[in-house]
Structure 1
């Protein structure tokens, strides 16, 4: 298992990171990566809502879930 750790990200960093990662996955047809975890101490329900809206508007992912536990935001897809 390989993972990347990037602590204490701001909301815009999450959006940029997620967009960049998903676009690269789609470009390379890599289906091994199916979840990401972001450490965001300031994350709240509004952050999750905005992230959901961004993913939907940009059509980045389909069949995804976003969850929030303490300082972490989890994004998973099939």
Structure 2
């Protein structure tokens, strides 16, 4: 997180002056999503307490794939400018 922050502080962006604004907008967009994600995760973990190992593993895999796709879309959107 710190590296990304330092990278976003490296001003000005000669190749893309909009990038700083994009990063700021991205952070503002990410915060509520992150909080929602955390709340959903906590309730899901409570729900998973009584579940089998297989279902727990499948849930973790789906969660990881979803989060990876979310980050990839993020990176593509920023890279595109």
TM-score (norm 2): 0.32
Greater RCO (CA < 8 Å, at least 6 residues apart): 2
Is the helix fraction higher in 1 or 2?
Answer: 2
